[in-house]
Structure formats: C-alpha cells, structure tokens
C-alpha cells in the first residue's frame, strides 16, 4: 500500500467524523445541537488541513476504489436482547468446491451468522453466531445449521465476556 493511500486512510478516520456531523446537522433530533456540530465539523476540517467538501470528496474516492467497503453502526447486542455470542468451528464432508458453495449459500441466509471465515488446519470454517438466549442458540444449531448435510462436525465456544473489540485497521503498522 502506498504512503499516499495510507495517509488518505488515516485522514478517513477524521473524515468519517465529519460525515457523521453532516448527517446529524441535517437531522438535529439524532444528535447534539447544530451549532456544536458545525463547530466540530470546522475543527475536524482544520485538523486534517482540508475543507469539509474536500474531506467528503476523499471519502467518496475511497469508497469508489474499494478501500472502504461500507459504513456500519455498531449496536450493543445486550441492549437489544442478544445474550449469546458463540464462535463455531465447522467441518464439511466431503471438502470440495461443491460442498463449500452449498454451505456458504445456506450460511448467508442466516442473520444470526454475523461472520464466516475459511480456515486452514483441522477445521474448515469459523462462524460468529449471535442469539437471544441459549435455548434459541441450541434450536438454531439443531434445527437450522445442522440440517445442512455437508456439515460433518460443529464445535462451539460461548463468549463469556468481550475484552477487546475493534474495527480499526492498524494502518500505521502496515
């Protein structure tokens, strides 16, 4: 990754804050008073040395070139009634393109499956699954996930507490 792109991504962290300010300014009921938001927008623009319109143009460029995949809101699961987070190791049999495709097609239909990773080693996939309680989780595993005939083994680890969770990419270390 070029130094220019790294600099653009670093600036994006601040630009995103500016974008959020713009959204709140357009809809004051969603945030703090408009005057404070405009002050914050001006301060952030000065901090990175660009005008607000230039910041937003760079954000658009990073989106169009695929460096930014999407914007998301991070919700506190507990506050919306999700009590169980599980990491599930999955093995498929036989392991080939057809079974992988079949598995992924089914997995993508389940909103409970938040993340899915292909692995090396003794397991084929790692899933992050959320559910409202243990009973719902058990029902999902038995009645939905295990109904996929290509799954030969499932191993679950239940999260007791989250000690660190970040979505920031360590751009400075790249």
User: What per-residue confidence (pLDDT) applies to 123?
Assistant: 98
- For CATH 3.30.70.920, list the domain ranges present in the chain: 77-158
Token couple for 30: 């969603």
pLDDT mean across residues, the chain: 81
The topology under which CATH files domain 77-158 is Alpha-Beta Plaits (3.30.70)
Residue 22 and residue 163: Cα distance in Å, rounded?
Answer: 32
pTM of the model: 0.70
Residue 12: which of 46, 52, 66, 58 has the closest Cα?
58
- Tell me the sheet residues that pair with 155: 89
Residue 110 and residue 162: Cα distance in Å, rounded?
Answer: 23
Percent of the chain scoring above 70 in pLDDT: 72
pLDDT tens, residue by residue, 109-146: 999 999 999 999 999 999 999 999 999 999 999 999 99
User: What per-residue confidence (pLDDT) applies to 174?
Assistant: 76
């Amino acid at each position: 990754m070029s130094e220019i792109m790294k600099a653009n991504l670093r600036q994006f962290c601040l630009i995103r804050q500016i974008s959020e300010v713009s959204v709140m300014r357009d809809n004051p009921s969603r945030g703090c008073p408009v005057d404070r938001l405009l002050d914050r927008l001006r301060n952030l623009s000065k901090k990175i040395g660009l005008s607000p319109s230039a910041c937003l143009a760079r954000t658009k460029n990073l989106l169009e070139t695929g460096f930014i995949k999407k914007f998301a809101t991070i919700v506190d699961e507990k506050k919306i009634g999700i009590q169980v987070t599980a990491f599930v190791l999955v093995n498929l049999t036989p392991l080939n393109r057809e079974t992988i495709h079949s598995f992924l097609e089914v997995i993508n239909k389940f909103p409970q499956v938040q993340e899915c990773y292909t692995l090396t080693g003794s397991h084929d996939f790692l899933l992050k699954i959320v559910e409202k309680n243990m009973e719902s989780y058990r029902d999902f595993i038995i009645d939905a996930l295990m109904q996929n005939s290509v799954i030969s083994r499932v191993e679950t680890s239940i999260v007791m507490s989250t000690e660190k969770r970040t979505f920031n990419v360590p751009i400075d270390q790249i």
